Structure 1
Amino acid sequence: MSGNDSAGKCPVIHGANTEVGNDVMEWWPNSLNLDILHQHDRKTDPMGDDFNYREEVRKLDFDALKQDVKDLMTDSQEWWPADWGHYGGLMIRMTWHAAGSYRVADGRGGAATGNQRFAPINSWPDNGNLDKARRLLWPIKKKYGNKLSWADLLALAGNVAYESMGFKTFGFSFGREDIWHPEKDTYWGSEKEWLATSDNENSRYDKNRDPESLEDPLAAVMMGLIYVNPEGPDGTPNPLETAKDLRVTFGRMAMDDEETAALTIGGHTVGKCHGNGNPDNVGEAPEGADVEEQGLGFNNKVTRGIGRDTVTSGLEGAWTANPTQWDHGYLEMLLDHEWQNVKSPAGANQWEPVDIKEEDMPVDVEDPSIRRKPMMTDADMAMKVDPEFRKIADKFRANPELLDDAFARAWFKLIHRDLGPKERYIGPEAPTEDLIWQDPVPKGSTDYNVEAVKEKIADSGLSISDMVATAWDSARTFRQSDKRGGANGARIRLAPQKDWAANEPERLSRVLKVLEPIAAESGASLADVIVLAGNVGIEKAAKAAGHDIVVPFTPGRGDASEEMTDADSFQWLEPLSDAYRNFLKKDYNVQPEELMLDRTQLMGLTGPEMTALIGGMRVLGTNHGGTKHGVFTDREGQLTNDFFVNLTDMAYSWVPTGNNLYEIRDRKTDKAKWTATRVDLVFGSNSILRSYAEVYAQDDNQEKFVKDFVKAWNKMMNADRFDLE
């Protein structure tokens, strides 16, 4: 072959732009990555703009679906045989792990999106062989089609599994909408290897591995785990230390000690662990497997690798003598025996009873004539040896009905935590009881004169910045991740929100004292009046800039009470930074602009919406504490595009003057004209954000800017209006 012969050369670029060097962040690691704002671009969704899953699922034959899922439990497939002829344990683990990735710090993770189908979660070590559970469910998903999301099916399967084993669940709601692309920008930890121990250079703990030092917003103790290490901290058996891990990990899932104990006990009442073989024979995870595996992974092609010879966690054995039945044998097994640490056939640390009668042992998953020793994980042993968990275990054993109720409620909370308020529940089994973790809000009045209320607000003496900032602070807590927070409920007037530094408690109290009488006199909720005040401020500012606009408003928000508010849980919603009001509580180990993107994505805003809102709020003078950073205008209080005009004007230079502080100087005189922070200047420095800023800086786009600002504002004020669905 001659040197210039091109035959045999590949005609395409290798790696589909995933190889090192093809990504902007590889070349310039300090560049701001805006991908998180485009996480679920509509271009990835095959269903089209007109598809509304929450309307489609209401057409579902719920009874027929449940019967099909129940029938599946005992329809053992040769390619992946069911333990004891029942898939219940596998399906419960699948549901548990889909829901258990939820963390209360940012509301990310959880079962509400069907994210377990995608990397990295589909290939986490802790999710080994759950690809088989999802593939077993495919005929059901195929049958019900668009009326049933994967997210709902993954949650439903575990619920039905418990019912098929004799347990009465608390209920179930449909309404989870599928995503179609991995949430690759969700932070799951900085470790570069699976199951890295706490001495890893990128450890999520401090050097002493204090469980309380677990890096925010993480909940799992290791990269690739859902909860705690079943072998013990860093793989070393130590039930008392594992108890500490349990409290932190489950606490970061918004579970208390009793819920943690109930979930551990109830979760391990059925099913088994799998570690009867050589873990080195287990193949690649789904995301790394070759095409002939067809999306399956963890396959053993060396030895049998199924049935009794399955290797998943590496631990081996069942917890109870009746692993396919809901009973109270778990606590009898745990508390009535002494336990010793042993190695499983796969080499994992686990606990087995020192002495046990053969008739008390579970039978083999394939041959009922063979008895196998039960086992316990380190987390199970924590229920026995930790004094507080032991008290709960003893209480549950003495009162089995308490365990049944506690587990039913904790399980329901686990698989519904990120579905949102009760208003979003769909289906005949959705419970009617108000639960505090659902953040209940009473229905508000719509029978009042909106224009009369606006007039009273306009004449109240409140400044534009007071009105707009207070409305923003009330709404900005909304998280699309778990549908928490927002303006509905007016919880900004309650603990803990009224005392957050980000809300400027003194200013907030002053503004609320003006708005509360207006609400009381008009019959409107305070939540509505707060939002209306923001609208009034914007309308005033727009008019002053020559734009006669009306900000859309829909009444009906309610006012939550202290009794309806889980104050401890709401502490996680505190804004530690807010680029929209140029607020940073303290310096963090990430740049303020990265925090801006994270909060923007949680609020459900796009890059252009973020740009319009920040530029508008700067010129309205809504900065936290009244600072002038980023207020690039001589017409503060008017809704102009001056922020963008002056930011992009080459008549000025930009000079660092301190930590996160800059001066904007006139090039001719070298005199300081304005001051700024990083989140101000990033709209001129980042190429993508600058492209948005330039749009709004154009001479012909002043009106477009005002309209875009109002549209984005209205979106935020209504983000939590699930009563409008």
Structure 2
Amino acid sequence: MSSKHTNVWDINDPSAAAKCPFLGNPDQLVAGKGTTNRDWWPNELKLNILRQNGTSSDPMDKDFDYAAAFNSLDFPTLKQEVIDLMTDSQDWWPADYGHYGPFMIRMAWHSAGTYRIGDGRGGSSSGSQRFAPLNSWPDNGNLDKARLLLWPIKKKYGKNISWADLFILAGNAALESMGFKTFGFSGGREDVWEPEQDINWGYEDEWLGEKERHEGDRELKGFLGATHMGLIYVNPEGPSGKPDPIGSAYDIRETFGRMAMNDEETVALVAGGHTFGKAHGAADPEKYVGAEPHGATLEEMSTGWKNTYKSGVLDDTITSGLEGAWTPNPTRWDAEYFDVLLNLDWELTTSPAGAHQWKPSNPDAPQAPAAGGNGTQGIMMSTADMALKMDPEYRKISEKFHKDHKAFEDAFARAWYKLTHRDMGPLSRYLGPELPKEELLWQDPIPEANGYTLSDSQVATLKTAIDATDLSASDMVSVAWASASTFRNSDKRGGANGARIRLAPQNNWEVNNPEQLRKVLNALKDVQDNAGFDVSMADLIVLAGGVGVERAAHNAGHKVTVPFTPGRTDASQEQTDIDSFGYLEPRADGFRNYQKGGMETAAEELLIDRANLMELSIPEMTALVGGMRVIGCNYDGSKVGVFTDKVGALTNDFFENLLDFTYTWKALSSDDTLFSGTDRRTGDMKFTGSRVDLIFGSNTELRAIAEVYGANDGEERFVNTFVSAFAKVMDADRFDVK
């Protein structure tokens, strides 16, 4: 739910500093005051996301193994303690109806609900709800208290249960404590220790702003997943706060679709979640609610939204601005949500906080208990709820679930499991005794290895056979890169395991050069057929990439061995959700000098974004770009950025020639995306380069790395870094051996 408490960040307003969670009041003592480089040069390429989450901010030992720590838990005892917490109402933040279940469901939902399939970012797998901006979003109002209620359990179990896992376990325990049977639970989410800097949550400078995030027919820009700044999905009052159920249905379908939910899953989640609990809008938040946690005073100790209206709790709580429960029994799993939604007539009204909501027009409509246990209050629906009744497609699904409660139960159980586990990656990362036996398509299943591996002698035999094909180093490295570089650490999807590059949709992506891809796959199929032992195509593709790198290094006078870990298996087309994998198609891949037309974001920024998704450091990214260029791995075989006369040799020529002031550079295109490198002495054009190429000479931090690799004594260091970084990309999805 959203908050009516908006913060406009106007630096010309003296009160803005107190409102904005990222601006300090010059009249107060604050940390970090003063001008920084970013203030003077706001357009500087920001490399911070390639430095985040390093060991410097991680308090755990370097060899800490969270999976082992989690598996050491007495899980049934832990879960029972979480269930017991649900009815252990605390005086400092008493539970509505004497049950924290709805509160914990909302916390878990909002932890997971930030996930977006477009770039895999957001979601529950990192415990990021502890940090800004998420801990201070209007939609997360008062969830700081939910986390504090869990602290005694977290304190007891310490490092053996991450906050990220505890959030989702609390949601599951809450559901089960109120009579719902969940589909299952997996641990394995590891906490981050600082805010995630790689996520663009939007462009607005005010809470609940929306002007900058839509284009066309109210379509969200880029990978954004919410209609307003600071919301998880949509404004419950309706689009732009207008009580328009049909317009709300459009927004709901757009935002839930960006979380990989179809219409049936969406209806199940909304109805299932709103079977429990209530919304809080006892009074006008502008009058009574204080700053969010990240903007609150020091003594509030990471809490916020201090409510001075009467008691400030239970029936006096202010969160979303809407007021009331959805069903007559808000702490019990039942069929009443669809009973009241579909069987009652509803009319528009406003809450005590002034928010648009809907009330039954039937005089005999059922009542819900008051949150504090004294008396009753009327039930309500938000405009977003009314969308499930008014939108024709949502209405059909709602009527289906109303008639068949078991179907609704199953749909909600599966959708909740998907919501809370969508960003965990392959099943090899799932931990605990409550894993479902059923394997689901959205989990990107890959056949188990079942003991399959390759001996050293078999690997040597395969390398000899690959080397004997007519494939060039460029062919082999390009296809191996295309297969492995789909991996994104944000939701642990993609990668070389499964060899999905030979399947739709990846085999037809422009960036993968389908003609070259077919040539390489056909050659490797011959190697596979003639091997005389079992070998997966996934292993062959990666092994061939290593052969290509070793050949390119040999051509430059270096003897290297690219590390190779066998054990990958091949997925089938039936195990591959074409629509879901379509989101992994690169909009840009600076390593292959590829960018789709019509992109508004600069190519160098997209390179940083992609390197971040692959967990590359700045030196690794730099070495990989330089090496891919000289090996000749541009997606279209072009010479752009290929600053060498020895294509196919792993030299440091890319850096040497880029940094050589023998050449002068100027733009060849009006949009500054293509540049020429001209010999100052002769006037002849020697090279062409993209923005991705020139950034390694232009940006001072990247130039510092390029100078190391481009020096007379730098080639060996460059080659070694390239080899290790290439192997890292090839193994990025090998959680089975990490």
TM class by shorter chain equals over 0.9
Partner of residue 592, structure 1: 603
Contact in 2 for aligned 1:120/1:184 (Cα 8 Å): no
Contact in 2 for aligned 1:539/1:550 (Cα 8 Å): yes
CA drift of 1:520 comes to 3.4
Secondary structure at the counterpart of residue 220 of structure 1: coil
Contact in 2 for aligned 1:501/1:585 (Cα 8 Å): no
2:615 counterpart of 1:609: no
| Total equivalences in the alignment | 702
Partner of residue 303, structure 1: 310
CA drift of 1:253 comes to 0.2
CA drift of 1:14 comes to 7.7
Partner of residue 162, structure 2: 149
CA drift of 1:81 comes to 0.6
Partner of residue 400, structure 1: 405
How far apart, in 1, do the equivalents of 2:231 and 2:151 lie? Answer: 25
Contact in 1 for aligned 2:126/2:191 (Cα 8 Å): yes
- The counterpart of 2:581, out of the listed 570, 576, 588, is 570
Secondary structure at the counterpart of residue 515 of structure 2: helix
2:226 counterpart of 1:226: no
The 5 A counterparts of 1:49-448 are 49-197=62-210, 200=211, 203-206=212-215, 210-211=217-218, 213-280=219-286, 281-357=288-364, 360-368=366-374, 370-444=375-449, 445-447=452-454
The 5 A counterparts of 1:492-511 are 492-511=501-520
How far apart, in 2, do the equivalents of 1:122 and 1:17 lie? Answer: 20
CA drift of 1:549 comes to 1.1
Deviates more, 1:82-91 or 1:241-250: 241-250
CA drift of 1:46 comes to 1.2
Identity of aligned residues (%): 57
Deviation per CA, 1:505-535: give whole Å up to 9, x if none. Answer: 1221222111123223332111111111110
Contact in 1 for aligned 2:309/2:316 (Cα 8 Å): no
How far apart, in 1, do the equivalents of 2:642 and 2:517 lie? Answer: 22
How far apart, in 1, do the equivalents of 2:488 and 2:363 lie? Answer: 50
The 5 A counterparts of 1:701-712 are 701-712=714-725
Aligned amino acid, residue 154 of structure 2: K
Secondary structure at the counterpart of residue 692 of structure 2: helix
TM-score normalised to the size of structure 1?
A: 0.95
- Listed as ranges, the gaps of 5+ residues in structure 2 are 1-27
How far apart, in 1, do the equivalents of 2:641 and 2:236 lie? Answer: 51
Deviation per CA, 1:24-81: give whole Å up to 9, x if none. Answer: 2221122111111112122111113122212211111101110110111001011111
Partner of residue 3, structure 1: none
Secondary structure at the counterpart of residue 453 of structure 1: helix
How far apart, in 2, do the equivalents of 1:355 and 1:521 lie? Answer: 76
What is the root-mean-square deviation in Å for CA atoms of aligned residues? Answer: 1.4
Secondary structure at the counterpart of residue 655 of structure 1: strand
Partner of residue 4, structure 1: none
CA drift of 1:447 comes to 4.2
The 5 A counterparts of 1:478-627 are 478-522=487-531, 523-627=534-638
Contact in 1 for aligned 2:562/2:727 (Cα 8 Å): yes
How far apart, in 1, do the equivalents of 2:627 and 2:110 lie? Answer: 42
Secondary structure at the counterpart of residue 724 of structure 1: coil
Partner of residue 26, structure 1: 39
Deviation per CA, 1:229-266: give whole Å up to 9, x if none. Answer: 10000100111111111111101000000000100110
Secondary structure at the counterpart of residue 347 of structure 2: strand
Contact in 2 for aligned 1:250/1:260 (Cα 8 Å): yes
Deviation per CA, 1:453-473: give whole Å up to 9, x if none. Answer: 111111110111110000000
Contact in 2 for aligned 1:104/1:572 (Cα 8 Å): yes
- Listed as ranges, the gaps of 5+ residues in structure 1 are 1-12
How far apart, in 2, do the equivalents of 1:81 and 1:589 lie? Answer: 49
Contact in 1 for aligned 2:198/2:609 (Cα 8 Å): no
Secondary structure at the counterpart of residue 673 of structure 1: strand
Aligned amino acid, residue 399 of structure 1: D
CA drift of 1:17 comes to 4.0
TM-score normalised to the size of structure 2?
A: 0.93
Aligned amino acid, residue 391 of structure 1: K
How far apart, in 2, do the equivalents of 1:302 and 1:362 lie? Answer: 22
Inter-CA distance 302–501: structure 2 relative to 1 (3 Å threshold) = same
CA drift of 1:292 comes to 1.0
How far apart, in 1, do the equivalents of 2:529 and 2:139 lie? Answer: 54
Contact in 1 for aligned 2:283/2:309 (Cα 8 Å): no
Partner of residue 7, structure 2: none
How far apart, in 2, do the equivalents of 1:310 and 1:604 lie? Answer: 42
Secondary structure at the counterpart of residue 700 of structure 1: coil
